[in-house]
Amino acid sequence: MKNHNGTYQISGLFIFTIIIAAFSVTGCATTDDVGRIQYDVNKLRAEVSSIKKKSATIENRLPDQEDLFQKKITALEETQSATARTVSDLLIQLQTLTSEFQTLTGQFEESRYFTEKSSTEVMKSREEQEVKTKELEQAVDDLKKKIEELKILSTKLVQADTDLSMTDETIKKDIAALKAQKTQTVQKQSSQTKSAKTQPSAQNEKIKALYMEGYESFKAGKTVEARAKFSSVLNDYGENDYSDNARFWIAESHYKDGSYEDAILAYEDLFKKNPDSDKVPGAMLKQGLAFYALQDKKTGEIILEKLIAKYPDSEQAKLAMKKMRKTVVPEKSN
Percent of the chain with pLDDT over 90: 35
Of 255, 208, 256, 249, the closest CA to residue 231 belongs to 249
More confident residue, 87 or 59: 87
- Per residue in 189-224, pLDDT tens? 444 444 444 445 788 899 999 999 999 999 999 999
DSSP secondary structure letters along 202-260: HHHHHHHHHHHHHHHHHHTT-HHHHHHHHHHHHHTT-S-TTHHHHHHHHHHHHHHHT-H
* Residues 238/194, Cβ–Cβ less than 8 Å: yes
**φ, ψ at 2 (rounded to 5°):** -95, 130
Q: How many CB atoms lie within 10 A of CB 305?
A: 20
Which of 103-112, 221-230, 325-334 is predicted least confidently? 325-334
Q: Give the burial class of 108: count Cβ atoms within 10 A of its Cβ; 0-12 exposed, 13-18 middle, 19 or more buried.
A: exposed
Rounded Cα gap, residues 189 and 217, in angstroms: 22
- Per residue in 111-137, pLDDT tens? 777 777 666 676 667 777 777 766 666
| pLDDT for residue 95 | 80
Of 237, 202, 233, the closest CA to residue 218 belongs to 233
The answer as to CATH 1.25.40.10 being correct for domain 142-324 is yes
Q: How far apart are the first and last CA of the chain?
A: 116
**Extents of the domains making up the chain:** 12-118, 142-324
Distances (CA, A) of 86 to 25, 36, 37, 52, 295: 8, 22, 20, 35, 80
Rounded Cα gap, residues 197 and 12, in angstroms: 106
Query: What is the DSSP code (8-state) at residue 10?
Result: -
Rounded Cα gap, residues 212 and 233, in angstroms: 10
